[in-house]
Chains A and B, each alone.
Chain A
Amino acid sequence: MKAITANRLIDGEVVFWKAGAWVEGFGDAQLFDDAQDADVETVVAAAKAQPTVIVDPYPIDLAPVPGSVDGGLAPVSYRERIRALGPTNEPTHGKQAVGGEVIEALRHAAGAARSTGRVDLIRRK
């Protein structure tokens, strides 16, 4: 699944495409399934051509949130989850301030690659 995001020109706010308009909440974003890649391209191309509403539109990949019962989706990339939430060091700043289920789901989403990082490399003599 995909969504389309950008930043609003006048204030830099992160926005998402929803059927002809740009909305602020990730939960309101229009979802495109894999069969709709051509639609995604069309929207992004049209968004790039408009002069004054948003800047830098691009599609983002979504994946199901682990453990979510209703099939909730979150951006795959960590960067995109931070854009959809706000900074993690100030939990009341940005979009996350409103709270609610979508915000909680985004906070608990995990990236595509899970790995613990390599320690235990050296065998102690």
Chain B
Amino acid sequence: MPKLIKLAGDAAEWAEDIFTHVGDDDALPEGDVILSLARFQAEGEILLSNSRRVGVRIEPDQEVEALAYDLPRLSVVALAFPKYRDGRAYTSARLLRERLGFTGEVRAVGDVLQEQAGFMVRCGFDAFEPNDGATPEAWTKAAHRYRHVYQRAADSRPTAFEEREAFEERAV
């Protein structure tokens, strides 16, 4: 199992993973679990009512809108990258944060590489299961490689145009 990296403020650090990824045919273990969307839709109600924490894994061809009504009860939404080149999870993450108001953990799973750290953090991911052996130090560095960003996203970084405006106000 890959180790889990989580954001704590601006820095990334190792975190203990209290969740178990449970396949559709696996026996249900004790404790907190991350399930597929199908298994969540079938068994989620019962699991949530027996005071476990529950997360759902969303594949790229599944729409996060399917979780809209359940989000307040979910602890984790894990978004899958079958290949790092498959960019659909970036949209899913932004929609979770910016449109559906999800405040729990958004975790990147699958082909998760440090070269993608900056994009992921900006889209609202805050937990990562790196596939390339990245350390939290490497992750933090990769996520902050750029001093400026040009567009609004799910993070709170000021954009280039906001920085310019602030600079001009200071000058006045």
Direct contact of A and B (CB under 8 A): no
